Each structure stands twice: as structure tokens, then as C-alpha cells.
Structure 1
């Protein structure tokens, strides 16, 4: 997702960290070394924190002196932060296996893999005061909660919307059929997100258009359902001009007219609109896939108190507003919208809109739709299928 600048930041940073400081002053035991159990209390800050993040999630002023929410955290906690960025969820999962990082910003196509591998620990959200303000529709979800235990702090969210050229589509398409069953009409000018998780977009479409397949959740596909989604994507492949994962490439493709319809993000539309390009986005009748990222704590972290402080810091209204605006997504609370002027464009806090989003969730063998009479396909099967689709 793209990074976008915001002017928000100020004194509330200190207030957010102060609330954690009060907790740590009262704690006598250290979090983090509880053998898979969430911490019960916090202790003294350890003085350092290694952060693994999407680009734009942990800015320290080195890219832009005016964009910095790491330095205030360091000043208020004494935790010196080092940041490593990653480009894909697969890269994040592999990097977390090294044990070199204390916290990670995990998208839903990575979070359950991290939990299953034992690389992250349960988080006691009562030790992060700002969790109280997080939107309810981001709490206790399949991608951040396992067996009733929370595994981190929701950060920001967004939908993978349908973008279209208004020169080609005078009226907004109402269905994803324009990129699936009807994609041959726009052959060579259709785009799709380049990731195995995009299989869920096809599955979501099939939920509505081939109900006999019995798909109830696009991330819970048995072998037959996965095969149907793969077949649909192979048909689509013949009409794809370019798959994209770099937002700059999609911006360029829509600007030149090489692409006229496909999956996109609201922030990309904002950029194109600001440059006068004739595009628009819509949420089709089938709904959309999307993301809700979670800050998670490494299971073997040596800086658990700094890690808890970071989770609370990044969820504080003004910091969350700045970070999510810079990245280009909706914030995690209404309080954050007090520091942003574009929340309406991102449908922030709109529960009805959010209910139409199928947030990225790691496919696993245990069917998350509740079925117990069949095994579902896991992410490795999706990865193999995606390679087959692309050829």
C-alpha cells in the first residue's frame, strides 16, 4: 500500500505512552517469557526494540524529517528502535523465523502462519489502553485471534476495490464479472493483484455466482472449491495485461490506458484523481477482499515491555492517524479520525461497508468456516496453485 503524508502529530503522543508507563511502574514481572501465555503484567523497559514492518508503518524521519513517530516513542520510553522493512507477507514470515525481531506488522495472509509456527505470542490487550478505542469490527477476528486469545493490535484496514476507467465505463460496474466471466471484453487491459491470496477474490465471486460449490468463506476452500477458483483464474489469465503488486505500476497503467479495469486500493484512486486521470473505484455487489493488519509480538522477544509499549503507541489516536494516512488506509478508531480529514474517503468506521470486506486470512487445513468433515487447502497449496495459474 502506498505511503501518504499527514500533518497530524503532537502532544497526545506523550499521553499515550504515559498510560503504558503507569502500567509498567506497577508491574513486577516481565512479559514475553510465558511459554505461549499472554503476559499478566509489565515491567521495566529494556531499552531497545527491533521492528519488522511494511514500508511506511514505522517512520523515523530518515525518509522525510516531517514524518516521524518512532523518535517520540524512543524519547518517551527509552526504547531505541531499529526498523527493517519487508515487501511481501512471505518475506515477513521468513524474517520472523530468524528470531531477530521483537514486533511485526502482519497482514492477514501472514498472521495465522506466524501463530501456527509459534513465532508470535498471545497479547494481553488489557495492558494496551488504546485497544479500548479500536473499532469492534476489527477485534476478535480469525486473522488476529486464535482459540479466544488475541495475538496483537489492529493497525489499519482497507478494501481491495474495483477500479475502472470512466472513459470505458461511463457508469460504475456493479459486479466483479467485468474481470472474471466478462473479462474477454477488455482483453489485455485487465489487471489483478499478484499474490496467492488473490485466489480468495475468485472464491468470493464464485460464492455468489456458483452457490452449488458451497463456498461459505473465500479463505476456507476444500480441494474441489480451490480447483474451481483456479479454473476461473486461468480463464481470467488469458485477458490479464499485467499483474501488479507495486502500486506505482498500476498508477502508470491506468494513466496510460494500458489498464482499464481491475483490483485496486482507495489510495491509488486518490493519487490518480489528484493527477486528473479518469478513473473511479467501487465496491461491487459481491463485496471485496481486503486487509486488516495486526502488530504482533515475537514469542522469544527479549524486549517484551518495549514491544507492549510500541503496540499501544501505534494505536494511540494521533499516531495511528499519521501512520495509516501516510500508508494510505483507514485508521483503527474514530478517535484517530479526529486527526485526519480523509476518513470519509476510506469509509473509516463504516461498519456496514466493513461488513462487506473479506479480510485477508491465512488459508489453513482446519476449515475456518466451521466444517469438520473435510480438510481445507492451506497456503502452500494456494502458492502452488498461483504458480500454476500464472504459468
Structure 2
């Protein structure tokens, strides 16, 4: 999966009212994850003076890209933890970089988080040492993409849904189903668009859950071989009507502006940009529900700077910093308190638990079925990657 920072603000100003970081109370020496064999810290010690962060572009801004966009400097000033950052373009790239042992913290999407856990590259997180964790929306906590067997492996960042975008001139009545990109895709052959990633297979699974219940799909990320084959078959048929697969959101904006695309998967922030440019587009969360993302800040199992790592996880979950980061990227924040520092929370349905319940957040497909089945083996991400290559040809 490739994610691009949504920095096309079109003149919008990001509010950066960053408050002081709440210092984590600690005593003694650190028992950070790197010192405890992959176990969660039980207490924190002195800050090490530095922290190395691996993140999606747009998640760790220090003013070097835009002087007006900086939520890192207040963290450094408060903690003394100097931040070094490396960005990555895909989850696979992040996985490979984490294996180097050079990073203390990573922002992991749901298609990477369980792979990081399984590889032993990240450690459990003691949320009692993260005061701002308490204010995070309950529907983002203790979920399959950020926890294992009831043990938390990180702190939720922001979230969003993969919505259905449509050209309002081609669709004067808003579509209510994903059938316009699946069973009815041929009606707009050559002008249908879809997200370019193996994780998009889950979008087909969400559709099949509603329209082919006999397949028995209960979780779009828990597909046995028969269920995966059904999703692949659906996507192969869809492929005949696809004009372009997209991963760069700027290309999708251009395609909907020119009319090369008239219907397909999109994000709320893309609609916000198009609306600002007067484009004839809109988005909807279809009746079947949708996939989506909720990224997680995770700490390396061999973190060299675990105290500063914990400080970062607490800071980025604080209302002011979280509001700044999620607004800049174009997603809902992780807490109601963050909405005090944003004016667009309603557009992102922030805190709307009913809306959020319709989203199947990206989770890493693994052989242990995420839907709880034990009588079959589910297909893992490697199988999905091979299937995606087959679909695209």
C-alpha cells in the first residue's frame, strides 16, 4: 500500500496550537522494550535526548517542508528528545526498514502492523505510561490491527474510510451500493478506478459479504482459499472496466477533474480538494460498508531510545498535536478533544461511532483467521500479493 500526504491544502491554514507535553512520571532506569525481551515497559526513566521515527509522509512535520506546519519542535523543546525522521512510501518498505533496527518508532498501517508483531520487530505497549491514551476513541482501541490476544501494540493515530466517489453529472442520483464498481462496472467501462494495492481485495470481500452470503465471509481480511478465489474472480471481471488503478491521490484528483474517471474508491480529503475546485463530484459510504484505515504508532522491540519513544506516543496522541497531524494528512483525529483544534471534524465524521462501525479497518491477512475460525486456514498477505498480481495481469 502506498500513501501520499494530503498536503494540497489550497490555501487552508493548519492550526498548530501545540500545548506542552505532559511529562511521563518515572523513576529509576528504563525497562524499555529493548531491555525486556519484547515485553512492555513497566516504568520509564530519563529521556535519552533523541528518538528515531519511521513514518508516513506528513505524519512528522518539523517546519522544514513548510514553516507554518510544525508539531515536532514543541515536542523537542518540552522533552529534549531530538527527532530524526525517515519517511516511507509503502508498508512493505516500512517492514524492511524496521528490520534494520535503526528506528525507535514506526507509524504502521493495518496491512503492516500484525506482520511487524509476528516478526518480533515491535513490542507490546504499556498504555498506562501514556496519559493521552485515555482520551482516544474507544472504537479505535484494542482492535485486531493494533492488539494481539488483548495486548496493545501501539497507539491509534487517525482514521478514515475508503469511500465511493462519483461524478454527479454521470450519477445525478447518488449511488447507494458498491455495485457501480462491481456488478455494474461495465456501464462505465474505462472510467472506473480502484485503489492499487493487494489490500483492495478486502473491498471486494466487503461487497461479497452482502451479495453472496453463502460464501460465509464474516471478516474481509479473513478469507479462506475459496473466499479469496471468489474475491479474485470478482476483481478480474472488474479489471475489464478499470481505466486506471491509483495510489497517488493527485492522479485521482486529475482523473476526476478531466472526466477520465467517473466512479471508484476514494478518500474524503480528495473530495474536499475537488469540491474546492468546483468539480462535479461527491462521495458516499455505501450500504455494504467500506474498508478504511486506522494507523498505529508502534515501538521497536529493540528501541535504543524507549523513553523518548514513549514520550512521542503520548505527545502525538495529545489533542493539539493529533489535531495538527491528522488535519494536515486529511483524516479524522483519534479523540474528541482534538476536534477543539480543528474545524472540519464533522466532514470526517470524527467520533461518530455508528459511522465508524461501518468501516472494516485495514488488518493484515494472516493464516490464523481473524474472524475466529479454527477449522480452516486463512490466506495470508503473501497470498493476497500474488493474487493482486494475477488480477492486474
Provide the TM-score with structure 1 as the length reference: 0.97
Distance in 2 of aligned mates of 1:374 and 1:128: 38
Q: Tell me, what secondary structure is at the counterpart of 1:286?
A: coil
Structure 2 unaligned runs (5+)? none
The alpha-carbon deviation at position 27 of structure 1 amounts to 4.6
Check conservation: 2:18, 2:74, Cα contact below 8 A.
Answer: no
Distance in 1 of aligned mates of 2:333 and 2:13: 12
Matching of residue 50 in structure 1 with residue 52 in structure 2: yes
Matching of residue 9 in structure 1 with residue 19 in structure 2: no
Check conservation: 1:6, 1:322, Cα contact below 8 A.
Answer: no
Residue number in structure 2 paired with 1:254:
256
Distance in 2 of aligned mates of 1:298 and 1:36: 9
Residue number in structure 2 paired with 1:243:
245
Matching of residue 30 in structure 1 with residue 31 in structure 2: yes
Check conservation: 1:103, 1:297, Cα contact below 8 A.
Answer: yes
Check conservation: 1:19, 1:129, Cα contact below 8 A.
Answer: no
Check conservation: 1:59, 1:68, Cα contact below 8 A.
Answer: yes
Check conservation: 2:17, 2:341, Cα contact below 8 A.
Answer: no
Map 1:128-139 onto structure 2 (within 5 A): 128-139=130-141
Residue number in structure 1 paired with 2:381:
379
**More displaced 10-residue stretch of structure 1: 58-67 or 28-37:** 28-37
Q: Give the paired residue count.
A: 385
**More displaced 10-residue stretch of structure 1: 77-86 or 214-223:** 77-86
Provide the TM-score with structure 2 as the length reference: 0.97
Q: Tell me, what secondary structure is at the counterpart of 2:244?
A: strand
Residue number in structure 1 paired with 2:96:
94
CA RMSD of aligned residues (A): 1.0
Q: Tell me, what secondary structure is at the counterpart of 1:72?
A: helix
Residue number in structure 1 paired with 2:199:
197
Richer in helix (by share): 1
Map 1:161-200 onto structure 2 (within 5 A): 161-200=163-202
The alpha-carbon deviation at position 352 of structure 1 amounts to 0.1
Q: Tell me, what secondary structure is at the counterpart of 1:169?
A: coil
Residue number in structure 2 paired with 1:18:
22
The alpha-carbon deviation at position 10 of structure 1 amounts to 2.9
**Structure 1 residues 258-283: Cα deviation after superposition (integer angstroms, max 9, x where no partner):** 00000000000000000000100000
Of 300, 303, 308, which residue of structure 1 is paired with 2:302?
300
**Structure 1 residues 45-64: Cα deviation after superposition (integer angstroms, max 9, x where no partner):** 11111110011000010100
Q: Tell me, what secondary structure is at the counterpart of 1:18?
A: coil
4+ residue stretches of structure 1 with deviation over 4 A? none
Residue number in structure 2 paired with 1:207:
209
Distance in 1 of aligned mates of 2:241 and 2:188: 7
Matching of residue 106 in structure 1 with residue 108 in structure 2: yes
**Structure 1 residues 183-213: Cα deviation after superposition (integer angstroms, max 9, x where no partner):** 0000000000000000000001000100000
**Structure 1 residues 87-110: Cα deviation after superposition (integer angstroms, max 9, x where no partner):** 111111111111111100001000
**Structure 1 residues 291-333: Cα deviation after superposition (integer angstroms, max 9, x where no partner):** 0000000000110000000000100001000000000000000
Matching of residue 78 in structure 1 with residue 80 in structure 2: yes
Q: Tell me, what secondary structure is at the counterpart of 1:49?
A: strand
The alpha-carbon deviation at position 37 of structure 1 amounts to 1.1
Check conservation: 2:23, 2:311, Cα contact below 8 A.
Answer: no
Matching of residue 325 in structure 1 with residue 327 in structure 2: yes
